[in-house]
Chain A
């Protein structure tokens, strides 16, 4: 356990250069049984990240490129009449996989978006009155283009809430980019990767996240943070109880990844930009979500008064 996670992070890092923190966040998200939203410009390595994680974790991987003319059936699957058996046979859609990369989710219509998000929430889909369970573990990495780009349907707040974390990869560091130019072939690297763990191990690790303990002192800090978002005039609306629970769970996953049995404030501080930024809204449109979270962290005392 103590060795597996650094090894996984290192493996993914071989393909996606210089993005260790984002990789760790993505894996924490996976361990916390959450879904991940990556918001970035095209060509920043979103797909690569998803593909590499699937390969290292040994998960079955499917990718859906969302377009504006897509229908829910294109995701969930469709029943087709089979002449031989004289009955309808269900053809599973791409959602029936362990790791689904929903590429450019905000390119498609809200109708199709909600079909996917429902599947994410329930862990099952219902077609023609028949409920089918999705494979376990089930992990969705959705990517979206920044909203200012044309032809996008922004996800509403209620659906953003379905994602445990939202991260952006950003441009690589100069060294990483130089290494990229000088011939590290990420595709070949990807092909060479072997799964480090089995899906069953992953599920066991997911179960261990819930066992990470949080003391009163830590919960106090969490509560102070949440309370601040609700009382400070900077925020249009505070963090919901679900958001607060998500934050705690992500912090647990982060603590587990760092081989701790207890959560410490640094865990919360590490995951809060990814967990809380997309759930908070600024009163003034001027400041971006991430500076908002920075301000939140600066204003709330870590130590109880």
Chain B
């Protein structure tokens, strides 16, 4: 203890401050500004103490600091039970400790805390850059610990860092084993994040212009891997359904009355399976979704999922039990079915009513058009074809449609005639409903970039899309994509090729340059790396762990794990020992020494080992005393060895070898017999 109470060596302080700065840096943008003001002030004070100009602050100053920071915390955060306030509290405590950093004990405390704070970065994001940074922080903190323990290394930062890196590298095997074997507990807390960041990806309502923003983002939305050997769906089949909108207020599509959008719609957790037509070859795949802060989960039509927390909504959609704030993976089985969605279940009156809902007034021209179709006696198929024919004839597909007025459907259909997917989908559903055909808007993603090398598909934000589903008697909900009537290449080749000029004009980052070969390759490589990282590291949960252990060990039992661990450690130790032996071997001993060693080994087996520092003569004397019957032989061998080794007598070496051939001492028992 006295050692811990002793004063901190001078050079170590700088180490600690550097570690602190490195660990707090990622929070520079997320934590309140006053935390950093506080850190800078406190650090300045401590540096003045270091330079011998000031004294460490007294209790009064400390009290004021604590009071100020507590007030800051209370004023900044209204909700306490959330991640940010707790991390801020930690950062504040970590910062304030600087003013009483005097002894080695304090320094150890701060550096240990630094390890913890570095780990909290990963609560927010678990990407590769974050992990690499956290690792860097850990190397730095380890180096600081080294510097504290040996004053010599405090002054040689490069060597200390190298040493810390080496130590951590040595710990990697252990880390891997712990990673694989340690039981995965669910998150012990589920602290909500309060961050005011807007939700990304699809929003839970749709109005004209909603997709404009998304189509300008090249951020990956999710990635899909298909079960072994299963081909990805053809491009026109890559419709990833996420949300269904059935309520229209004249301008905005929402999820329909009776549905609380905050809860992500009504969810039937694993109960209403009867909606799914399980015929045909099911498609098994895993989706890794980027955080959306919403509950919807994209999937192909007719999905089922066994992943914990994933439920199925009546519109044949998947939803998560709470907003997706971290990357998550879920398994899906999608059935192609023989007809449209829910064909067998039929359409209840309530559902029919919901999907025919229209505002009582507004968009009169569109209403009139649809009614004219109905008056002409067209059936549902013909109405759909008529509407699509309208689009095909005179509409333009563009990312930058003109602004629409109050009657947005009329404005689009009869005036601007230029729009993006949501205009087409929204107006189409409007027309269908006006013509008395139940219809709904579906939003989600259309497309996906298939990465051949790694067998997965990446879907970007700009693949976001809206289309329609109409209820056709006997066929159920049938997908109709009015955009396809105008711009079929959007369905076949994606947005990039449907609108090459407009697409390139936007700020797309690397994907903009996908026509430049190597840059595109680089982008795909980076995405592949991220994908691998997520699949193998971040999403390694209890299920995956069990799967891996079963694959490795055959079955998961405590004994097998212990056995496997034991053998791994054993092999590692043997390899290490062999390596140490190899590097320490040096040049081999001369022949007389080797021969004499053999002689010693034989005597050792007989129970009379030579002591390390015992000289040949002393050894011979001792043996003559203990086992006189070997005396003659031992004496001549010793004499021969002495001559060979110390008198440069080359003939003695042969003599020694010859003598050794005849000398085979028996076991210890015979020694005792001989002496007793």
Contact = CB atoms under 8 A, between A and B. Distances in A.
Interface of A: 213, 215-218, 261-266, 269, 297-305
Contact of B646 (A218, A297, A305): A218
Interface string B546-557: 000000000000
B615 interface: yes
Interface centre among B611, B614, B645 (most CB of A within 10 A): B645
B589 A302 contact: no
A216 to B, nearest CB: 7
Contacts of A215: 645-648
B613 A302 contact: yes
A302 B615 contact: yes
B618 interface: yes
Interface string B604-620: 00000001111111100
A302 B614 contact: yes
Contacts of B617: 264, 266
A241 to B, nearest CB: 21
User: Which are the 8 A-B pairs with shortest beta-carbon distances?
Assistant: A304-B589, A217-B645, A298-B613, A297-B613, A265-B615, A304-B593, A262-B647, A264-B646
Interface in B557-613: 586, 589-590, 592-593, 596-597, 600, 611-613
B642 interface: yes
Given A217-B646, A262-B648, A304 B590 contact: yes
Contacts of A301: 612-613
Contacts of B645: 215, 217-218
A299 B590 contact: no
A259 to B, nearest CB: 13
Given A264-B642, A304-B590, A299 B647 contact: no
Contacts of A269: 613, 615
Contacts of B646: 215, 217-218, 262-265
Contacts of B589: 303-305
B432 to A, nearest CB: 89
Interface centre among A213, A264, A300 (most CB of B within 10 A): A264
A260 B500 CA distance: 100
A117 to B, nearest CB: 33
A261 B647 contact: yes
18 contacts: A215-B648, A216-B590, A217-B592, A217-B593, A217-B645, A217-B646, A261-B647, A265-B615, A265-B616, A266-B615, A269-B615, A298-B611, A302-B613, A302-B615, A302-B616, A303-B589, A304-B593, A305-B589
A269 B612 CA distance: 13
Contacts of B612: 298-302
Interface in B613-651: 613-618, 642, 645-648
A298 to B, nearest CB: 4
B539 to A, nearest CB: 50
Given A216-B590, A269-B615, 16 more contacts: A215-B645, A215-B647, A218-B645, A218-B646, A261-B647, A262-B646, A262-B647, A262-B648, A264-B646, A265-B646, A266-B617, A297-B613, A298-B611, A301-B612, A303-B597, A303-B616
Contacts of A297: 613
Interface centre among A216, A300, A301 (most CB of B within 10 A): A301
A287 B309 CA distance: 71
B642 to A, nearest CB: 6
Contacts of A213: 648
A75 B397 CA distance: 117
B590 to A, nearest CB: 6
A300 B613 contact: yes
A302 B616 CA distance: 8
B615 to A, nearest CB: 4
B618 A266 contact: yes
Contacts of B592: 217
Contacts of B597: 303
Contacts of B618: 266
B279 to A, nearest CB: 78
B593 to A, nearest CB: 5
Contacts of A300: 612-613
A172 B611 CA distance: 30
Interface centre among A217, A261, A263 (most CB of B within 10 A): A217
Contacts of A218: 645-646
A263 B645 CA distance: 10
Interface centre among B592, B597, B646, B648 (most CB of A within 10 A): B646
A264 B586 CA distance: 24
